[in-house]
Amino acid sequence: MSLDDTPRFDTLAIHAGAQPDPTTGARATPIYQTTSFVFDDVDHAASLFGLQAFGNIYTRIMNPTQSVLEERIAALEGGTAALATASGHGAQLIIFHTLLQPGDEFIAVRQLYGGSINQFNHSFKKFDWNVVWADADDISSIEKAITKKTKLIFCESIANPGGLVTDLGAISKIARRAGVPLVVDNTLATPYLCRPIEHGADIVVHSLTKFIGGHGNSMGGMIVDAGSFNWSREGRYPTLSEPCESYNGMKLHETFGGIAFAIACRVLGLRDLGPCISPMNAFLIIQGLETLSLRMKKHCKNTIKVAEHLSEHKAVSWVSYAGLRGDRHHKLAKKYCPNGAGAVFTFGLKGGYEAGVKVVSGVEMISHLANIGDVRSLIIHPSSTTHRQLSEQQQIAAGAGPDVVRLSIGLEDAADIIADLDKALAEAG
């Protein structure tokens, strides 16, 4: 491969950001299980603390194992830089902390993970960051929600739990006209199925805990900076455009340009709020990332088989999966997720809430738990668990009504997944 060739996805997933360890020659990325790093001298330390040089100071801010993971995800997403965090929620906290001031508003579509709905509705209000809800299925509702206080638009590429595919291009145009960044949670799709930056996203966020890690053994989050937004425009984002007291009046956007947002998230958000990823978890997620494309292909192949089976089951009233030809989001899935519509979807039970509880209690191989993106198939009844804090009306609006069951399809044989579901459905009546 010549130096002019751009490595393809599978090559980047294995090699981006990593070299053999210079001291030992270790080929796998080592786990740098250390809290801090020795400085060359006083001048070196001063340059690191003053942002005149890049390097390791303290693992809360940066760590070599974490850095490999960040560079690799940035390469796969097509971003300029990235920042790993302790969880997806930790990543969202740092994004909003960097962009919003007290009294600001942000727009979020209602088709979101229940934990994000709770974070936006309740926890963020303590910072006086105020959510305005819109509907991903009604793009005009997003534009109507924009005010002078709006500082960003937030959506998911593939929505959890409903599995709908969001029209990122249309929302991006609205964000451009409003002069605000588009933040896209790409957790369910991963960069293998969807690359939001190519469709106008300015910031991409992940829960690495899910498909990217892929094995249900480690927590992590990721922020990816597209490097394309003008943070100095009209002075609306003072954390990035105005003199920073923490760094002797440095203007971060003026100094760092296309990586300014990622830098601000690291040296202000991660430094002061502290949700850093552990070196061990970064290492484990790197291992999962190296097989991402292989796993996502099998996830999607299994999922379409299960979704087709359930769509014909007598106990099932509907199936919401964009990979099905008759699904209302099928065309969007073909546009934004050409490699597959993901492995998470919902279906409705004719028996309602009680049937949902019985089904998740009746499976044997499929695990009943609050996670997605594992090699194992997972099931949950959102109305009684992840979305329990919402009213029934809010649950329905979020695609998690009383009759809804969510599946995250794993890598087992599809016939065995189907057999386990059929048994549970039969027992539920």
User: Which has the closest alpha carbon to 356: 121, 116, 161?
Assistant: 161
Domain residue ranges in the chain = 9-288, 294-428
Reported as type and span, the H/E element at residue 137 is none
**pLDDT, tens digit, for every residue of 29-86?**
999 999 999 999 999 999 999 999 999 999 999 999 999 999 999 999 999 999 999 9
Which pLDDT band, with edges at 50, 70 and 90, does 4 fall under? Answer: low
Give the mean pLDDT of 83-102. Answer: 98
Those residues with Cβ within 8 angstroms of residue 359's Cβ, 6 or more apart along the chain or in another chain: 349, 379, 381, 405, 421, 424, 425, 428
Check pLDDT > 90 for residue 15: yes
The whole-model pTM stands at 0.95
CATH domain 294-428 topology: Aspartate Aminotransferase, domain 1 (3.90.1150)
Q: Is the dihedral of CA 118, 222, 345, 384 positive or negative?
A: negative
Terminal Cα-to-Cα distance of the chain (whole angstroms): 59
Residue 172 DSSP one-character state: H
Q: Average of pLDDT values for 193-215?
A: 98
Report pLDDT digits (tens) over 263-280.
999 999 999 999 999 999
Residue-wise burial string across 295-313, b where 16 or more C-beta atoms lie within 10 A, e elsewhere: bbebbbebbbbbbebbbeb
pLDDT for residue 18 is more than 90: yes
What does the pLDDT read at residue 393?
A: 85
216 pLDDT above the threshold of 70:
yes
So what CATH class is 9-288?
alpha beta
Pairwise CA distance, residues 3 & 68, whole Å:
21
CB 351 within 8 A of CB 428: yes
pLDDT of residue 2: 45
Phi, psi (degrees; rounded to nearest 5) at 106:
-140, 150
- Predicted confidence at residue 400, as pLDDT, reads 82
Distance (Å, whole) CA 424 – CA 362: 5
Q: Is the pLDDT of residue 213 over 60?
A: yes
DSSP assignment of 357-405: HHHHHH-SSSEESS----SS-EEE-GGGTTTTTS-HHHHHHTT--TTEE
Segment 116-130, tens digit of pLDDT: 998 999 999 999 999
* Residue 161: predicted pLDDT: 82
pLDDT for the residue numbered 243:
98
Q: What is the pLDDT of residue 386?
A: 75
pLDDT at 294: 98
**Low-confidence winner among 111-120, 148-157, 192-201, 373-382 (lowest mean pLDDT):** 111-120
Phi, psi of 292 (to 5 degrees): -55, -50
The CA distances from residue 360 to 63, 146, 343, 389, in Å, are: 40, 40, 18, 19
Q: Residue 378: what are its φ and ψ, rounded to 5°?
A: -130, 150
Mean pLDDT of all residues in 176-199: 98
Report residue 186's pLDDT band, with 50, 70 and 90 as the boundaries. Answer: very high
Q: Tell me how far apart the alpha carbons of residues 369 and 355 are, in angstroms, rounded to a whole number.
A: 17
Q: List the single range of 28-42, 142-156, 206-220, 379-393 with lowest mean pLDDT.
A: 379-393
Q: Are the C-beta atoms of residues 86 and 277 closer than 8 Å to each other?
A: yes
- Give residue 303's pLDDT: 98
Over 80: is that where the pLDDT of 397 sits? no
Angstrom distance (rounded) from CA 199 to CA 170:
9
Q: Do domains 9-288 and 294-428 have the same CATH topology?
A: no
